[in-house]
A and B are shown apart, each in its own frame.
Chain A
Amino acid sequence: MTNREPITCQDTTWLVSDSCERELTAEEKADLHGHIATCELCQGASKQFDVLFQQIRLFFSKDIQPGGDASE
């Protein structure tokens, strides 16, 4: 690991959103988890994001496939 600038809370939120879209790089993951481990505010926010993402999955749940003509 090189001596990179530590990431900010704001950077952290971008990584949280990007992680829904793509696999983060090892460096990004290290930055994200490193920051959250030391930042109480981001720990609170990350708990909220976890619940939000879980609720969104439930809201738009596609667990049950419709019958009949609805499939592709």
Chain B
Amino acid sequence: MTDAYKTSVIDEIATYRPVLFRIAMLQLRDAAAAEDATQEALLAAIQTHDKFEGRAALRTWLISILRFKVLDSLRQRQRQGMPVDPGQLSVELDTAKFATLFDETGCWATPKDAWTNPETHVSRIEFFRVLEACLTKLPTNTSRVFLMREWLELTSDEICSETGVTAGNLRVLLYRARMQLRSCLDVSWDRSQ
């Protein structure tokens, strides 16, 4: 491996700082903690970058390193706990917002020809950008528990003890996250056609 190649990988790693910070922020909801996790992930990546082969997957590799740093951060904060704000939670659990998706018989209120077909030729970079934007639009607690589940792969019990939400409310929040992401991407798929 040439020095020039090493330098360019390190430069490229550094360009991922903003996206790593945004993802850490979605999970940790604390700028200082997200900044620390991002910094530690970048340092670990730069220290071990010679073990990394295949630059196409650089983003994937960096996100997997960040995942361990975010898990560490959550463990460190576990002593204090990070309970959800009950007022904010009740807003996110409010059913009224979802009432418009379905009619009174439980059938989709969407007209039949309104579905967009997701089989469009969106590039991976474009799709990452859109999905990140949609994740950012999720309410605070909804995105927090959704990332704990889908990214950190914590168990339901772990998420409930970390956040103080009940198993029943966790089920609702994960449902809402998936429904809102589908709606958000539906609009994006539509635009890209």
Using CB atoms and an 8 Å cutoff, list the residues of chain A in contact with chain B.
8-11, 13-14, 16-18, 20-21, 40-42, 44-45, 47-49, 51-52, 55-56, 58-72
For B152, give the chain A residue with the smallest CB separation.
A60
Decide: A65 and B64 in contact? CB cutoff 8 A.
yes
A55 B115 Cβ-Cβ under 8 A: no
Q: Which residues of B are interface residues toward A (Cβ below 8 A)?
A: 44-45, 47-48, 51-52, 57, 60-61, 63-65, 67-69, 101-102, 105-108, 110, 112, 115-119, 124, 127-128, 131-132, 147, 149-151, 153, 156, 171, 174-175, 178-179, 181-182, 185-186, 189
Q: Note all chain A residues with C-beta closer than 8 A to B179.
A: 13, 17
Residue from A16, A52, A66 whose CB has the most chain B CB atoms within 10 Å: A66
Inter-chain contacts of B57 with A (CB < 8 A): 63-64
In the assembly, what is the distance between CA of A42 and CA of B179, in Å?
13
Report yes or no: A44 in contact with B174, Cβ–Cβ below 8 A: no
Report yes or no: A48 in contact with B64, Cβ–Cβ below 8 A.
no
Contact B68 A67 (CB under 8 A): no
Pair A21/B108 contact, Cβ less than 8 Å: no
> Among the listed A17, A61, A68, which residue makes an inter-chain contact with B47, where contact means beta carbons less than 8 Å apart?
A68
Given contacts A49-B182, A68-B44, contact A9 B107 (CB under 8 A): yes
Contact A8 B105 (CB under 8 A): yes
Contact pick for A71, options B68, B147, B149, B150, CB 8 Å: B68
Q: Is B174 a contact of A21 with CB atoms below 8 Å? A: yes
Q: Are A67 and B181 in contact (CB under 8 A)?
A: no
Q: CB distance A69 to B106 under 8 Å?
A: no
Complex CA gap A55/B123 in Å reads 12
Contact B106 A10 (CB under 8 A): yes
**Would you give 28 A-B contacts (Cβ < 8 Å), ordered by A?**
A8-B102, A8-B107, A9-B102, A10-B101, A10-B102, A13-B179, A14-B175, A17-B174, A17-B178, A18-B171, A20-B174, A21-B171, A40-B112, A42-B108, A45-B108, A47-B118, A48-B182, A48-B186, A48-B189, A52-B181, A55-B127, A60-B63, A61-B63, A61-B64, A64-B60, A66-B44, A66-B48, A72-B68
Q: Is the CB of A20 within 8 A of B48?
A: no
